[in-house]
Structure 1
Amino acid sequence: MLKIMVLRKRHEKMLEEAKQLRSKISGFKSREADVAAQVEAASTDEEITAAAAAVEELEKAQKSAKERLATIIEEAEALQQEIADAEAAASSAAGGDGGEDGGDEGEARSRRSMSPDFRRRCQDFQRTGKHTYRNAKSFVTRTAVLSSSTGVIGPTGVSGINDPVGNTISDFLDLIKITDCTGMASYKVAYLSTDMTAAAGTEGAVPTESEPGFGSVELTPSLTSLISYVSREIRKQSPLDYEAKVRESATRALRRVLSKNAVDAVLASTLNTTFALTGAAGSALFTPHLLSDIILAYGGDEGVEGAATLVLNKADLKAFASVRGTNEYLPVYSIIPDSANPSSGVIKDNNGLSCRYCLNKNVTALSSLTPTTTAKKTMFYGNPQCCEMGLWGGVEIDVNDGYKFGEGLLTIRGEVMADQDVTVPNGFVVVTAKSA
């Protein structure tokens, strides 16, 4: 028994190390995106050399981690087999024939030869009349039942529960500023709307009065909720964790609502500026200089703000990709999706000006828009941190078996209390379009 305990301890340590390695390998995906951006942005020899070194270092680290993981998995499987063999040997030794001695003396020797574990199983069998074979390997070996024997039914294998391709939530919700407002009735954010103005003065005279302007944005909690039911019997009938998958789906559903609310808040805010386009058709507004016009429209007259993201509909991303030059008809824009996050990436024009983009289906597509005399808001560009979301208690997913207990159902309820708005003046530039 002591040997088995030691083997199990070693096996647990191997599994823990394998878990850490898998987490490390998963973390390489975000690193790949950063290195890809570094390679794409490299222009000088020094930058290219540094990018090549970063690629080599990343590949070396990935290879080392994967090789170590493969070794640990192989050793863990071998150790698992060794544990099973040791358990079978211990079970055989505990359950063997105690000899042919009879009478009280033979029975006493038999009791002395029993291990505590075997004696406990005998007592359980005497009390309940049932026995459960814990070591399936030794049980099959003793009965000599073959898989080809008549009447033997094999189990049906199942894989994991696959999500559909494209079941992605916009990354915009993860880019905005999050504030914990638990315990507050509301949350107010102040901002500076106008600076003071200085002017030429006259010695001995009072300067012209000038004061800064201030404003505020108030966030108040709004409840979003959902409910679903899962049969308790699924736990017994399938090795797949349907309950966990329903919880995951509930989380995604709540995040979709929060993402839509955040986009709606940006488009409705009066703190933003606009970049106005005029044309007969939205698709005709995608010109070789549209991206640079949007980027340079963001910020003040004396600066080009960085750390900004273009939030747009996927149809507009396709429209950017379709723009061709007038001479050689080559693509004007290069689109580089983020391998670690399908909803974001980098868009770059042939002049070298680039920015990050984030797809969101709640943004009206400019490319499919038929402009009218009233300007309609479409994509927007800016620093996502200029949009703030207050959370009252966070996203909660609860599982309860009381409400539908009589029907054998688990109740899964999700809810979130939040509010979003733009809290920085000129935080975004919104692209609008109308007919001439």
Structure 2
Amino acid sequence: MDRKTEIEKRMGEITELLTGDQEVNIDELETEVRSLKDELKEIEQRSKREAMAKEIQDGKTEVRTIEQPKEEIKVNEIDKRGKDLAEKRAVTVSSGDIVTPTHDKGTIKESFNQVSTLLDRVSVVPLDGGESYEAPFEIEHGEGNYTEEGQPYFDTTVEFGYASINKTKITAYNEITEEVLKLPRADYAGRVEGSVGKALRKKITKEILVGSGQAGEFTGIFSANATAINPATDLEIGDIDKDTLDDIIYAYGGDEDVEDEAVLILSKHDLRKFAAVRDDNGRKYYDIVNNGNTGRINGVQYVINSAAGSLSTADDGDYLMAYGPLSAYEMAVFSPTELKRSDDVKFKEGMIAHRGSVFAGGNVVKFNGFLRVKKAPTV
């Protein structure tokens, strides 16, 4: 089996991994795919060079049209976009969905991940051009009763509530020097799209948890304005021990079911506390599988969000975690994400301005859709 066939086979295997149900490290697979594509491109180019050289040696003079590789076409498209940015004053460089992150070109070294994937996993409703609205949810349905012959049917009622999802404006702005233009155009285009776009995502993913719910702001899971959650269901913990996960699982939901699709939202600090719990023999009590921003604790899914509190630093009564199906939180996107660049703002100083904006809003839309965990008062 030649190397080209091996690469194509491996690309097929990666495709199966990405479309399958098992957990994978997307960052590692993305790096491997990029490396395989580069190697495949090099093999194809070398093969074409050898073919052309043979034709010359054989005395053939006809002109041949060589198909441009797809990866090269993509690079040229990015280069063209960078050229357009360099020649225009104000131009829209991106207009898309705030939920799907943009993968920047890898030649600019990134910092550690600063955006929780919580944003990509909640329920998203696209409402381009829409306005604020109320999402109804069922609180309780009645129970029937015995009725004697000839007597009126027993009255039952169904109680509903409404969660307000208000349109908010999230913006980000930064300036860079014109020297950045000396970088390759493709890198510059990625930098423009990435820096401001990630800033928008970073803000929204935190607001899903801690947004105050006041005018012009998201209503977060921890907010008192999340009217779908009854504060009486909040769970208090003093420390993380062998019973903590079971206490959370069985405290969530109604009296008839134990939910099996819920996700635990917590900080990295408290995830470490789970990892530090030991059994009577000194072995780790919790089996934790880490996969970047997500993973499992004894089979229970978790997602890290730095906006969650930590037992080590929280005050009494502060919220630490939330547990529930992420579809119980609804985020409405009222406009595409818009990223723009302008050379005019500080023309004399040679500064280039970038700004981004998106109209969105969110709230808990299922009655007691999340169990909120907070720090118990110190005794």
Partner Cα distance (2:149, 2:198) in 1:
66
Q: Is the 8 A contact 1:229 1:409 kept in 2?
A: yes
C-alpha displacement of 1:216: 1.1
Q: Counterpart amino acid of 2:297?
A: I
Shift in Å, 1:409: 4.4
State yes or no: 1:79 paired with 2:12: no
Counterpart of 2:77? none
Query: C-alpha distance in 1, partners of 2:297/2:109?
Result: 30
Shift in CA distance, 315/415, structure 1 to aligned 2, threshold 3 Å: same
**Any conservation in 1 of the 2:163–2:227 contact (CA below 8 Å)?**
no
In the alignment, what sits opposite 1:319? 273
Partner of 2:188: 242
Query: What is aligned with 1:271?
Result: 228
Q: Which residue of 2 aligns with 1:363?
A: 308
Write the distance in 2 (CA, Å) between the matches of 1:25 and 1:200: 61
**Aligned to 1:294, which of 235, 242, 248?**
248
Report sequence identity in percent.
25
Alignment match of 1:391 (pick from 304, 316, 333): 333
The one-letter amino acid paired with 2:222 is: L
SS of the residue aligned with 1:249?
A: helix
Per-residue CA deviations over 1:312-370 (Å, capped at 9, x if unaligned) read: 01110000001011x311111011012xxx1000111xxxxx21000000001134435
TM-score (norm 1): 0.62
* 1:214 to 2:160 alignment: yes
Task: Assess, with a 3 A threshold, how the Cα gap between structure 1 residues 28 and 409 changes in structure 2: closer, same or farther.
Answer: farther
Cα gap change, 1:415/1:35 in structure 2, threshold over 3 Å: closer, same or farther? closer
2:134 matched residue in structure 1: 188
Match of 1:256 in 2: 202
* Counterpart amino acid of residue 292 in structure 1: D
How far apart are the structure 2 equivalents of 1:23 and 1:423?
Answer: 40
Deviation at 1:394, TM superposition (A): 2.6
TM-score normalised to structure 2 length:
0.71
Change (3 A) 1:239 1:71: closer
Q: 1:21, 1:65 within 8 Å by CA — same for their partners in 2? A: no
Q: Following the alignment from structure 2 to structure 1, what is the Cα–Cα distance between the partners of residues 294 and 43? A: 37
Q: Do the aligned residues in 1 keep the contact of 2:167 with 2:360 (CA within 8 Å)?
A: yes
The 8 Å contact of residues 342 and 354 in structure 2, kept in 1 or not, is answered as yes
**Which of 276, 282, 289 is the aligned partner of 1:336?**
289
The equivalences for 1:365-384 within 5 A come to 365-371=310-316, 375-384=317-326
Matched letter for residue 152 of structure 2: V
8 Å Cα contact 1:160-1:240 kept in structure 2? no
The letter for the 2-side match of 1:356 is Q
> 2: distance between equivalents of 1:414 and 1:304?
42
Q: Once the 2 structures are TM-superposed, how far is the Cα of residue 26 of structure 1 from its aligned partner? A: 6.2
Long gaps (5+) in structure 1:
1-13, 38-58, 88-92, 94-158, 349-353
- Structure 1 residue 200 corresponds to structure 2 residue 139: no
Q: Residue 267 of structure 1 aligns to a residue in which SS?
A: coil
Q: 1:219 Cα deviation (Å)?
A: 1.1
The number of equivalent residue pairs is 310
**What secondary structure is seen at the aligned counterpart in 2 of 1:266?**
coil
Aligned counterpart for 1:162 among listed residues 109, 116, 123? 109
Task: Kindly indicate whether residue 257 of structure 2 is the aligned counterpart of residue 303 of structure 1.
Answer: yes
Deviations 1:124-154 (A, max 9, x none): xxxxxxxxxxxxxxxxxxxxxxxxxxxxxxx
Question: Measured at CA, do residues 65 and 379 of structure 1 come closer, stay the same or move farther in structure 2, by a change above 3 Å?
Answer: closer
Confirm whether residue 227 of structure 1 aligns to residue 215 of structure 2: no
Residues in 1 aligned to 2:345 and 2:374: alpha-carbon distance in whole angstroms: 49
Q: Which has the larger radius of gyration?
A: 1
User: For residues 346 and 10 of structure 2, what CA distance do their matches in structure 1 show?
Assistant: 38
CA contact (8 A) 2:235 2:248 kept: no
CA apart distance, 1:262? 0.4
Cα gap change, 1:378 to 1:66, in 2 (>3 Å): closer
Evaluate the alpha carbon distance shift between residue 316 and residue 418 of structure 1 in structure 2; reply closer, same or farther with a 3 A threshold: same
Structure 1 residues 84 and 227, CA, compared in 2 at 3 Å: closer, same or farther? farther
3-state SS of 1:418 partner: strand
1:347 aligned residue (294, 297, 313): 297
Aligned partner of 2:357 in structure 1 is 415
CA displacement 1:221-266 (0-9 Å, x = unmatched): 1111122234455434656623421320111110011011101211
Structure 2 CA distance for partners of 1:64 and 1:384, relative to 1, 3 Å: closer
Deviation at 1:417, TM superposition (A): 1.1
Contact 1:398 1:412 in 2 (8 A): yes
Q: Quote the offset at 1:393 in angstroms.
A: 0.7
The answer as to 2:371 corresponding to 1:429 is: yes
- Give the C-alpha shift of residue 433 in structure 1: 2.5
CA distance in 2, matches of 1:266, 1:225: 22
Q: Distance between the aligned counterparts of 2:336 and 2:11, measured in 1?
A: 25
Counterpart in 1 of 2:22?
34
Task: Give the superposition deviation at 1:304.
Answer: 1.1
Instruction: Give the residue type in structure 1 aligned to 2:45.
Output: A
Counterpart CA distance in 2 for 1:414 and 1:66 is 32
Q: Give CA-to-partner distance per residue, 1:266-304, whole Å, 9 cap, x none.
A: 1112323534335xxx4xx21212111111222211111
The residue matched to 1:336 in structure 2 has which SS? strand
Deviation at 1:85, TM superposition (A): 10
With over 3 angstroms needed to count, the CA separation of the structure-2 counterparts of 1:229 and 1:330, relative to structure 1, is same
Q: How has the CA–CA distance of structure 1 residues 336 and 393 changed in structure 2, closer, same or farther, with 3 Å as cutoff?
A: same
Change in Cα spacing, 1:411 to 1:72, as seen in structure 2 (3 Å) is closer
